[in-house]
Amino acid sequence: MEYRTCVSDTEVALEAISQISDIPYSKGHFSNFDDSFADSGKDEDFYLLKGTQLEVSVQLERYEGYYFITITGTGREFENAKSYLSTSSQSAY
């Protein structure tokens, strides 16, 4: 299964997803990746986290000020992550 959404705070979303899945994540890691992306000159890149039941991808685009998170997986971890991301407090829409 797959779910994609735009989030208001990517760092917070990644921390929460790591807590409800088997994916390790350290606070600030995405921000560092984002800074490196901004300096890279690339037009697009993806930040990836992989676990046994869940994969998380964050799309970065040079001319956009928002981030899309896509989660792919099955089972309880996917359902819990989807539920978290679909809450009004995290959705950027």
State pLDDT tens for residues 14-43. 999 999 998 999 999 999 999 999 999 999
First to last CA, the chain: 22
Q: Where are the beta strands (DSSP E) in the chain?
A: 2-7, 44-50, 54-61, 67-73
- Report the mean per-residue pLDDT for the chain: 90
Whether residue 93 is predicted with pLDDT greater than 70 in this model: the reply is: no
Whether residue 12 is predicted with pLDDT greater than 90 in this model: the reply is: yes
Q: What pTM was computed for the model?
A: 0.87
Question: What percent of the chain is modeled with pLDDT above 90?
Answer: 77
